[in-house]
Chains A and B, each alone.
Chain A
Amino acid sequence: MDILSRIPQLLVYGVISGSILSLGGIGVSLIYSIIGFSNFAYGDMMALGAYIALGLFSLFVSWSIPNTPLGPLSFGFGFILAAIFAIGLTAVAVVLIDRILFNRLRSHSSVILMMSSIGVALALRNILQFFWGPQPHYYIERIQIATVIPGLGIRIKPDQVFIILVTIVLVVLVHAFLKYTKMGKAMRATADNNALARVTGINTDRVIVWTWVIGGALAATAGILAGIENKFITPELGWQMLLSIFAAVVLGGIGNPYGAIVGGMVIGITEEVSTAFIPTGYKPAVAFIIMILMLIVKPTGLLGKRR
């Protein structure tokens, strides 16, 4: 089979992994622009969400909450309920981490915050490994048959359609929140000019808490969706995606959540399409090369900082 005929299929895979990268990218971007540092713990916050969902799901199974697959999906009500609670709990956990650690370091430079986030990353990953071990845990045991889209010859699984739809819904929700709610506007104002936000009387501490709530919820969602796509999770799940997420954020323009969506899609698609030409193992290198090229050519990213 020649290379070119595989590209439409790889584009679809790219959109799926791009969806997950976009969600993570929005979170990283909001935290960077409002709280002011690159959060290296973001990948492990994703893994935390995925594992909380796993724990809740097994709990719900033991309570015999039904999980008969919903329509063509490979999971049911029990799993979705576990995921929703996990998203909320991750948001709470992330706010706690902020109160215990980041909030106390806020008066220091952003480098200190960034370094401490590397510590949080290691701690989270090892806590997950301590409780669940390094081996993969399966979210979904059953095999799902991909549907062929007639005419195009592209294969896609119902679970993958679910991932894309969830991403679209969340992107619309985050956009509406930033654009139309008082807190969303205050978040954009704080990202624009933190000092003026304080002078204006905006409660920037509350803005920071809300940023962590949204960032944590998006991290958990991205982690759970990655688990659905891979069918299993490991404690390394998020850390392995972090480079691609950072690349997406840099590509789209650091600090611009809309750029992170564009960047996530471009990185996701490029990584997948690259496998037609080079071995799959080089996928992360592709993200890295795109990030370096962007930093050399246009350090402000595709969409730049919104001014």
Chain B
Amino acid sequence: MSLLTVNAVTSGYGDMEILHGVSIEVGAGKIVTVIGPNGAGKSTLMKTIFGLLTPTAGQITFAEKEITGLSPDLVVRRGMAYVPQVENIFPSLTVNENLEMGAFILTDDFSGQMEEIYQLFPILNDRRKQRVGKMSGGERQMVAMGRALMLDPKLLMLDEPSAALAPNLAATIFERIVAINASGVAILIVEQNAKESLKVSDRGYVLASGRNRFEDTGENLLANQDVGQLYLGG
């Protein structure tokens, strides 16, 4: 069953069109990766799905309801969470406060969900009162993912979660992504360095110059020679 359907979406910044009719699909509980070179429109796709950019054509459907052009605060309430690539934490707030902000729209008790997140990221558990601005890149990424998970979303969107992280840290992050997915959360990842990401993905898309280029299972894309040469660095 499809959780998120992006159908022939055209979008961009002002007059500059970046996506020229992109279509992707994320099944409930699946991991999907969108790869592509710099400037392919990966981040634009994320922002458009989440309502930060308004598509000029096409439809976006989430959980069987159309969300095309819906503003981010409403998209969040539908059960979608988004972790931007940069500036994805509140630096002057503590770890605990960052997670609390993730639950801002909730009026009932969220301490159970918070404890689950601390179990998922034990390293954060010891640093609840620490300001996130003083933490390392990997820890910040965990805080950002934890913040996004506070609402127990159906879909978690991650923009380059391993960018600028040391390889061993990136592996840890992907391990956590698989753990999050195992709890039933569908995950949409965009990545430039995508081998790690495709390995854990049920499905993958290759985007180039704002258009769909390839589409297959994660495994098959990794095995595909064209994709390998053009987009995975040989």
Residues of A at the B interface (CB closer than 8 Å) are 182, 185-186, 188-189, 191-193, 195-203, 306-307
Q: Bound complex: CA of A188 vs CA of B101, how far in Å?
A: 10
Closest to B92 in A: A306
Q: What residues of chain A lie closer than 8 Å to B92, measured between beta carbons?
A: 188, 191-192, 306-307
Q: Bound complex: CA of A203 vs CA of B105, how far in Å?
A: 8
Instruction: Verify if B147 is at the interface (C-beta below 8 Å from A).
Output: yes
Q: List 30 A-B contacts (CB under 8 A).
A: A182-B100, A185-B93, A185-B97, A185-B100, A185-B101, A186-B104, A188-B92, A192-B93, A193-B91, A195-B52, A195-B84, A196-B84, A196-B89, A197-B90, A197-B101, A198-B72, A198-B73, A199-B50, A199-B82, A199-B84, A200-B76, A200-B101, A200-B147, A201-B73, A201-B76, A201-B77, A201-B105, A202-B73, A203-B73, A203-B104
* One of B73, B90, B97 near A196 (C-beta < 8 A): B90
Instruction: Verify if B138 is at the interface (C-beta below 8 Å from A).
Output: no
Q: What residues of chain B lie closer than 8 Å to A307, measured between beta carbons?
A: 91-92, 133
Closest to B73 in A: A201
Encoded as 1 (CB less than 8 Å from any A CB) or 0, chain B from 92 to 111 comes to 11000110111011000000
Nearest chain A CB to B150 CB, angstrom units: 9
Across the A-B interface, the 10 shortest Cβ-Cβ residue pairs: A201-B76, A306-B92, A192-B90, A307-B133, A201-B105, A189-B90, A202-B104, A189-B101, A307-B91, A192-B92
Q: Bound complex: CA of A198 vs CA of B50, how far in Å?
A: 11
CB within 8 Å: A-B pair count: 67
Interface size class of B (residues with CB under 8 A): 20 to 34
Nearest chain A CB to B134 CB, angstrom units: 8
- Do the beta carbons of A193 and B87 come within 8 Å of each other? yes
Nearest chain A CB to B142 CB, angstrom units: 16
Nearest chain A CB to B83 CB, angstrom units: 9
Q: Bound complex: CA of A291 vs CA of B100, how far in Å?
A: 37
* One of B76, B93, B100 near A199 (C-beta < 8 A): B76
Instruction: Verify if B151 is at the interface (C-beta below 8 Å from A).
Output: yes
Nearest chain A CB to B144 CB, angstrom units: 9
Q: Bound complex: CA of A151 vs CA of B73, how far in Å?
A: 62
Please report which residues of chain B, range 89-148, place their CB below 8 angstroms from some CB of chain A when the two chains form the complex.
Answer: 89-93, 97-98, 100-102, 104-105, 133, 147
Q: A189-B90, A196-B84, A307-B133 are in contact. List 7 more A-B contacts (CB 8 A).
A: A189-B97, A189-B101, A192-B92, A193-B87, A196-B89, A197-B101, A307-B91
Closest to B106 in A: A201
Instruction: Verify if B7 is at the interface (C-beta below 8 Å from A).
Output: no
Nearest chain B CB to A80 CB, angstrom units: 36
Q: Bound complex: CA of A182 vs CA of B147, how far in Å?
A: 15
Q: What residues of chain A lie closer than 8 Å to B209, measured between beta carbons?
A: none
* One of B87, B91, B102, B133 near A200 (C-beta < 8 A): B102
Q: What residues of chain A lie closer than 8 Å to B102, measured between beta carbons?
A: 200
Instruction: Verify if B59 is at the interface (C-beta below 8 Å from A).
Output: no
Instruction: Verify if B61 is at the interface (C-beta below 8 Å from A).
Output: no
Nearest chain B CB to A303 CB, angstrom units: 12
Instruction: Verify if B181 is at the interface (C-beta below 8 Å from A).
Output: no
Q: What residues of chain A lie closer than 8 Å to B52, measured between beta carbons?
A: 195, 199
Instruction: Verify if B88 is at the interface (C-beta below 8 Å from A).
Output: yes
Most interface-central of B73, B76, B102, B133 (chain A CB within 10 A): B73
Q: Bound complex: CA of A21 vs CA of B72, how far in Å?
A: 39
Q: What residues of chain B lie closer than 8 Å to A198, measured between beta carbons?
A: 72-73
Closest to A183 in B: B104
